[in-house]
Copies of this chain bind each other. A is one copy, B any other.
Amino acid sequence: MIEKNESVERLLQVGIALSSVEDLDTLLDLILREAQELMGCDGASIFLVEKNKLVFKAMRSGTYFRMWGEEKTKATFKTFEMALTKNSIAGYVALTASALNISDVSQIPGAEQYRFDPAFDEKYGYKTVSLLVTPIKNKKNEVIGVLEMINAIENGKVTRFSGEDKEIAESFSSQAGVAILNTSLTEQLREANFDTIFRLSVAAEYRDKETSNHIKRVSYYARMIADKLRYCTEDCSLIFWAAPMHDIGKLGIPDSILQKPGPLDPEERKIMEKHSVIGAKVLKDSKVPVIQKSKVIALTHHEKYDGTGYPMKLKGLAIPAEGRLVALADVFDALTSKRVYKAQMPEEQAIKIMKEGSGSHFDPEMLDCFLGSLDEVREIRDKFEDKPEDFDKLKDTGNEDLGELLK
């Protein structure tokens, strides 16, 4: 309901604000917040087109937020899908790629294909009157979503949206579209990076007969401790994604040692221990933060708190925190996991061994933190439990459906 000139200036600011958001959920919420303010309306929601469906993604509502608070409202209006047809208002806007300005949803002429669905209103006692619904498009002008603005408010009363509101909303939707696509691209790239790291880390541990679950559990344990120690979000996330590569240097260790059934003799042990340095050499000189972090972890995850570890015999806090974290997570997981050559150790026994290592093998503060969160530890362990088939699921059994694999 602000003036046109003023609103165009504001749109400029809004465009910049939207473009600065890196994750999609935050962005969608900001889009809704700005839509409410620019259009002076009670509520707003966003649908995105996914695989020929309209998926309800996010909403804000003055009325509901006052009534229930933000959290309860958002929990109530969880994501749902609807068919992409012209029978719904959002579907109609998505398929025709043009905005609808409806002054009263109870007065939609019978000749129109779309209908207002009163289900939510009836269920929760809200009364939708006016709607302004705009398509969100990508740069090829394809509709990627729909923005719904609900109940324009003027002087505290519900009114219709003006023609000017519609213009502003259309311009705003273009900005929102670009921001959504940029953020999705960023998220896709992050996901691509993490998928690559994880797959190749799993492949690298394959000869060691570790499962992909071992790598996941270590990453989750390490992040859990980092989080409890109040490391910043970025560090927690870097540790989580760098941890899988801690044993990448085992690629440089011969089968005869890596897969030897019995204990290693001193000479073999010396060769085995080279995996930390080999790993660091594989990962060194990168400009990429997660690879830099993984290099430090590869190099230092066998150091011990009392300085008796390898390869540098670093002591105490001289061992980088990420190395101390992964050391703890890795040992605990080794103790509590079934391996081909050994059964699972009872949890109490594993905890006893860990406690004995406090201050000698492990950072005592980190260990306390870890052992103080056993519920979460168990949750992670149960979620990524090894099943018998996990031990050879990468193997070529000779029976795979190659045609299926090629697809």
Contact = CB atoms under 8 A, between A and B. Distances in A.
Interface of A: 5, 8-9, 11-12, 15-16, 19-20, 22, 139, 171, 174-175, 178-179, 181-182, 185-186, 188-193, 195-197, 199-204, 206-207, 245, 248-249, 251-252, 254-256, 274, 277-278, 280-284, 286-291, 295-296, 299-300, 311-312, 320, 393-396, 400, 402-403, 405-406
A200 B206 contact: no
Q: How many copies does the complex hold?
A: 2
Given A12-B171, A16-B175, A196-B288, 6 more contacts: A189-B193, A193-B193, A193-B196, A195-B286, A204-B251, A296-B406
29 contacts: A5-B5, A19-B179, A20-B178, A182-B186, A189-B190, A191-B287, A192-B289, A192-B291, A195-B287, A195-B288, A195-B291, A196-B197, A199-B286, A200-B203, A200-B204, A200-B245, A202-B282, A206-B282, A251-B251, A252-B395, A255-B255, A277-B405, A278-B396, A280-B406, A281-B393, A296-B406, A299-B402, A300-B406, A320-B406
A290 B200 CA distance: 13
Contacts of A182: 19, 182, 186
B199 A278 contact: no
Contact of A199 (B16, B19, B254, B283): B283
A286 B20 CA distance: 29
Nearest to A274: B396
A269 to B, nearest CB: 14
* Residue in A181, A289, A400 with the greatest tally of chain B CB atoms within 10 Å: A400
Contacts of A200: 196-197, 200-201, 203-204, 245, 248, 282
